[in-house]
């Protein structure tokens, strides 16, 4: 049995730096699928299993790169970038429900890789990592989709260089609604200094102010999306207010998904569910969130987010 064959069914659980050298921790996944809203949940579940705790494998990047040549994985057919709390998980779950597709939703190893310098985290390594994670999981799987973390807009040039010509979408939402959501349950990018590894350094005045820190990060994400529409082709801007209808009306066609021969009800059932709580029915909450925006939220939005949001809306309108 060759080294490559001995790693059949194994995927990268985590990337790390051991003694100053990049390392890959592999776990056995077999024929299981990524079905949770986020890859992190699947990878943590795999990592906690007794077999993977006892027999987890370690390698350098050389094996990851080597395996990519013999096992290139599914072709990447679309990237989902987003502002956060704006319907991107719904889009990811809808794409995951396609009968011939694998969806990687915010895979933690990619986040680690994008923080590394180019000699370890260059385009070839990005492609090799996606190949290892994006193997076909069912006999009929034909394509791969990737949903990034919201701050990965800072790396869109590197990601599109790794997968040139791949169509991408940026999902966004009224900043007031996003800030209200993060005040109730802050995302990782609202933790001061959490984004330094991605080259995002807010003003010093915000280092002890989580909500302000997050508002600044979101302003950069919005501006990066606007600039990406100028620098790169194949982009689509999509406001949360257009969901869920835009899943069929715009995203499917943009990503080359032909829905004519597919059973529609399973896909529409996904769009009716709460994307992060599958047992719950989706309830529109834009009005409630805007009503909850107090003076602090309004001031932060006015200072950091209103202008980039309006400029992005103009870009979206001009692209129609």
**Contact call for residues 153 and 225 (beta carbons, < 8 A):** yes
State the average pLDDT over residues 192-201.
96
Average pLDDT over residues 214-228: 98
Query: Token digits for 64?
Result: 């990851």
Q: What is the pLDDT of residues 89-108, one digit of tens each?
A: 999 999 999 999 999 999 99
Q: What is the pLDDT of residue 219?
A: 98
Q: How many CB atoms lie within 10 A of CB 65?
A: 16
CA distance 132 to 125: 11
Mean pLDDT of the chain: 93
Give 103's strand partners. 145
Give the count of beta carbons closer than 10 Å to the beta carbon of residue 172: 27
Most confident region among 120-124, 239-243, 273-277 by mean pLDDT: 239-243
Strand order in the sheet with 21-28: 10-18, 21-28, 57-60
Which residues, 6+ apart, have CB-to-CB distance to 276 below 8 Å? 37, 89
For residue 160, what pLDDT band results from cuts at 50, 70 and 90? very high
Supply φ then ψ for residue 285, to 5 degrees: -130, 15
Q: 314 CB contacts (<8 Å, ≥6 apart)?
A: none
For the chain, give the longest Cα–Cα distance: 65
19 pLDDT higher than 50 = yes
Which pLDDT does position 278 carry in this prediction?
55
Q: In residues, how long is the chain? A: 320
Residue 280: its pLDDT value, please?
57
- Residues with Cβ within 8 Å of 78's Cβ and at least 6 positions away in sequence, in order, are 95, 145, 146, 166, 167, 168, 169, 251, 254, 255, 256
Which of 150, 141, 140, 48 shows the shortest CA–CA distance to 103?
141
- Measured over the CA atoms of residue 148, residue 12, residue 252 and residue 227, the dihedral's sign is positive
Domains and CATH numbers, the chain: 74-319 (3.40.50.300)
Helix (H, G, I), strand (E, B) or coil at 193: coil
pLDDT tops 80 at residue 275:
no
d(CA 213, CA 15): 27
CB-CB contact of 194 with 260 (8 Å) = no
Dihedral pair phi/psi, residue 27, rounded to 5°: -130, 155
pTM of the model as a whole: 0.94
The residue to which tokens 């895979």 are assigned: 107
Confidence class for position 262, pLDDT limits 50, 70, 90 = confident
pLDDT at 3 > cutoff 60:
no
Tokens for 210? 């989580």
Least confident of 10-14, 68-72, 273-277, 291-295: 273-277
Q: In terms of pLDDT, which residue wins out, 20 or 319?
A: 319
Q: Which helix (H) or strand (E) element contains residue 162?
A: helix 156-162
Three-class DSSP category at 81: strand
Whole-number pLDDT of residue 221: 98
Taking phi over 0 as left and psi of -120 to 50 as alpha, with beta for the rest, 177 belongs to alpha
Higher-scoring residue by pLDDT: 139, 152: 152
pLDDT at 119 over 90: no
Locate all alpha helices (DSSP H) within 232-257, ordered by sequence.
245-246, 252-254
Mean pLDDT value of segment 120-131: 93
DSSP 282: P
Q: What's the pLDDT score for residue 1? A: 44
């Amino acid at each position: 049995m060759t080294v490559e064959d001995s790693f059949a069914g194994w995927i990268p659980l985590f990337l790390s730096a051991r003694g100053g050298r990049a390392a890959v921790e592999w776990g056995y996944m077999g024929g299981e699928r990524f079905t949770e809203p986020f890859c992190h949940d699947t990878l943590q579940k795999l990592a906690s299993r007794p077999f993977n705790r006892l027999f987890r494998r370690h390698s350098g990047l050389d094996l990851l790169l080597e395996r990519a040549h013999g096992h290139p994985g599914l072709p990447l057919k679309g990237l989902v970038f987003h502002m956060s709390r704006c319907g991107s998980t719904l889009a990811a779950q809808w794409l995951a429900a396609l009968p011939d597709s694998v969806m990687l939703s915010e895979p933690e190893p990619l986040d680690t890789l994008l923080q590394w310098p180019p000699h370890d985290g260059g385009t070839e390594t990005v492609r090799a990592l996606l190949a290892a994670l994006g193997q076909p999981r069912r006999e009929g799987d034909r394509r791969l989709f990737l949903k990034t973390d919201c701050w990965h807009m800072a790396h869109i040039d590197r990601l599109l260089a790794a997968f040139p010509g791949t169509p991408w979408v940026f999902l966004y939402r009224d900043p007031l609604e996003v800030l209200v959501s993060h005040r109730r349950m802050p995302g990782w990018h609202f933790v001061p200094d959490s984004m330094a590894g991605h080259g995002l350094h807010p003003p010093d005045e915000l280092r002890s102010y989580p909500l302000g820190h997050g508002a600044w990060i979101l302003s950069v994400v919005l501006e990066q999306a606007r600039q990406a529409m100028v620098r790169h082709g194949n982009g689509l801007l999509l406001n949360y207010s257009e969901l869920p209808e835009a899943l069929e009306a715009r995203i499917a066609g943009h990503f080359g998904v032909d829905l004519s021969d597919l059973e529609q009800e399973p896909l529409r059932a996904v769009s009716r569910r709460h994307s992060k709580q599958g047992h719950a029915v989706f309830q529109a909450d834009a009005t409630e969130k805007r009503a909850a925006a107090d003076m602090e939220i309004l001031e932060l939005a006015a200072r950091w987010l209103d202008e980039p949001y309006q400029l992005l809306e103009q870009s979206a309108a001009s692209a129609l």
